Amino acid sequence: MKKNVHILILSISIFVNIFFAYIFLSNTKTNSNFNFSIIFTIAVIAISYLLLKNRFSELMPVNYNNTVELKEDPNSRKTNITFKDVAGLDEVIDELKVIIDFMTNTEKYNKMGAKIPKGILFYGPPGTGKTLLATALAGETNSTFISASGSEFVEKYVGVGASRIRALFAKAKKSAPSIIFIDEIDAVGTKRNTDNNSEKDQTLNQLLVEMDGFNSNEGIIVIGATNRLDMLDEALLRPGRFDRTIHIGNPNMKARLEILKVHTRNKPLDESVSLSELARKTHGMTGAHLATMCNEAAILAVMRNKNKIGKEEFDEALERVIAGLKKKYPSVLEKERTIAAYHEAGHALIGKILNVNTVEKISIVPRGQTLGYVLNFPKDDSFLLTKTELKNKIIMLLGGRAAEEIIFNEISTGAENDLKEATKIAYQMVCNYGMSELGNRVFDIHMLKSTEIIDKEVNKIINNCYVSAKKILMENKHKITLIAERLLAKEIITKEELESLLEEENKLCV
Ligand SMILES: Nc1ncnc2c1ncn2[C@@H]1O[C@H](COP(=O)(O)OP(=O)(O)OP(=O)(O)O)[C@@H](O)[C@H]1O
Ligand SMILES: [Zn+2]
């Protein structure tokens, strides 16, 4: 209520109070008047008291009054962060542009009867910019950014998770256009139990109900973020809910350079600082690490009374971040990176020499559990594979381990998936395709009393293929080194780069 109205009411009630007190004192002789005066006086005093109480409580400091609602909710705000603040995620940003167009030109889509996704799910390692990207999307579309964390529904608000979800959506509708961002959505979104009764499941059910309940043209987009896509309940990923999933991975060297540029944008840098050199040295780091590193370097420069941040500060800041990382993932940065480079070079070189698949890209940018990978596709959609083609596949799969053995005289656990795949193909050759010395027949492994004869044939195939892999790589040892060194310097080699690298080498050898 407005302050002036309050004062007016108070004055009137005091005046009426005095007036009736006067009537009461002058009319005590008649009983009915007496009773009326008493009741009325008490009522007026009570009303005055309540009004006064409210007035005082408004004047009290906020923390004495625990029913006061925060006027400015820090979790719901307009933001001026835009895509200019997000670096190295150009492909993701391109994908999000259609959402921006929808939120800013809703009519155009409505006319065509086009439905835009209600929910987008960002998944990938921590610190890669998922929250930042969601905030920037709100900034670009001038939407209200409403954020919540999945864990707060089940930890902080035990028993009220479902109603918090309802409130979240109600707030979003009231302040549309808006973006609801639910970080750590896995805390509420993991697969449900069959009894559906737990606090988490009730919260998840409410989230599903709310997502079904709003219309995509109401100007609300829900963005979820998780590091564990595999743990989510499928119901969340159904059309009309989080039907777009976007992977946000660790940045490669080019992306790291862009991120460094963003985080040094308003920092005075000394000429000695080379951002590309820093991008090269920060392999395995996320955007969050890079942001921390730039900030640490700036703090060091202030402490040293410098007016510009120099190379020394960056080197020291880098060491601090790496020291933190090393504690978390011992030796991921140098030793494993080198092993990964030679391992992937082994796969790629054999793929190229035996013409197995088209090698599209070789990378040692860590992804999930793997430290590197060779992206390769079959040359055509062939339905049939020959025995030689299957064997060549196995040789290529074993090329990673063979390269490790040749170069380091030691093997690592990095070949686990390769071995699984190679063994699977070898079993199929023996049991399904009749491609072993056991003849042109199939075997149902579950019907056999002993798998000894099968295992023997499988071992023979694998061992022969491993010998072939080592032979090929030994004959081309300098090429493995060439590819691995390029990988260590650039992290990613494209199909074209691999071709010209090997061509140059061939010319030199002629
Ligand atoms: N691509 C990027 N461009 C610029 N800055 C980035 C980028 N990625 C991360 N950062 C910096 O790191 C900070 C933390 O990133 P953010 O919180 O968005 O990561 P996240 O993926 O949401 O992590 P989490 O999974 O831990 O919530 C950002 O505020 C920003 O300073
Ligand atoms: Zn491998």
Q: What is the pLDDT of residue 389?
A: 93
Q: Calculate how far, in angstroms, residue 420's C-alpha sits from the geometric centre of ligand 2.
A: 11
pLDDT at 480: 96
**Separation of CA 347 and ligand 2 centre (Å):** 7
- Give me the long-range contacts of 166-169 (CB less than 8 A, separation at least 24): 166/206, 166/210, 168/210, 169/210, 169/213, 169/214, 169/220
At residue 305, the 3 state secondary structure works out as: coil
pLDDT at 12: 59
Residue 39 CB neighbours (<10 A): 11
CATH superfamily of 77-247: P-loop containing nucleotide triphosphate hydrolases (3.40.50.300)
- Read off the DSSP letter of residue 192: P
Query: 466 CB contacts (<8 Å, ≥6 apart)?
Result: 398, 401, 402
Distance of alpha carbon 423 from alpha carbon 9, whole angstroms: 88
Based on the residue annotation, tell me whether 277 is a catalytic residue of this protein.
Answer: no
Q: What is the pLDDT of residues 427-475, one digit of tens each?
A: 999 999 999 999 999 998 878 888 899 999 999 999 999 999 999 999 9
The span from the CA of 434 to the CA of 428, in Å, is 8
Residue 342: per-residue pLDDT: 97
Could you give the CA distance from residue 436 to residue 392 in angstroms, rounded to a whole number?
15
CATH level 2 (architecture), domain 335-509: Up-down Bundle (1.20)
Relative to the CA of 289, which ligand 1 atom is closest?
Answer: 12
Annotated binding site for ATP: 124-131
The CA-CA-CA angle for residues 295, 298, 304, to 5°, reads 145
Q: What is the pLDDT of residue 458?
A: 96
Ligand 1 pocket, mutate which of 92, 132, 181, 261 (most atoms under 8 A from CB):
132
- For residue 379, report the distance from its CA to the centre of ligand 2, in Å: 20
pLDDT of residue 54: 42
What's the 126 CA to ligand 1 centre distance in angstroms? 8
Catalytic residue selected from 210, 313, 344, 404: 344
Q: Which residues are annotated as a binding site?
A: 124-131, 343, 347, 418
Binding site listing for Zn(2+): 343, 347, 418
Order the strands of the 178-183 sheet from edge to edge: 76-77, 144-149, 178-183, 220-226, 119-123, 244-247
What is the pLDDT at residue 111? 86
pLDDT at 61: 27
Best mutation site among 92, 131, 290 for ligand 1 pocket (most ligand atoms within 8 Å of CB): 131
Q: Hey, which of 81, 120, 128 would you mutate to test ligand 1's pocket, going by the most ligand atoms within 8 Å of its Cβ?
A: 128
Residue nearest atom 6 in ligand 1 by C-alpha distance: 287
User: What's the pTM value of the predicted model, to 2 decimals?
Assistant: 0.61
Percent helix, strand, coil in the chain, to 5, is 60, 10, 30
User: Quick one: pLDDT at residue 24?
Assistant: 56
Determine the straight-line distance between the first and last CA of the chain, rounded to whole angstroms: 92
Pocket of ligand 1 (CB under 6 A): 86-89, 126-132, 183, 225, 227, 259, 262, 287-288, 291
Ligand 1 atom closest to 288 (CA): 12
What confidence score (pLDDT) does residue 165 get? 87
What pLDDT score was predicted for residue 107? 82
Q: Which residues of the chain have pLDDT under 70?
A: 1-76, 155-159, 193-197, 216, 323-333, 367-369, 378-382, 508-510
CATH code linked to domain 253-328: 1.10.8.60
- Output the CA 276–ligand 2 centroid distance in Å: 29
| For the chain, domain boundaries | 3-64, 77-247, 253-328, 335-509
**pLDDT value of residue 17:** 58
Instruction: Output the pLDDT for position 20.
Output: 58
Ligand sitting nearest the alpha carbon of 124: 1
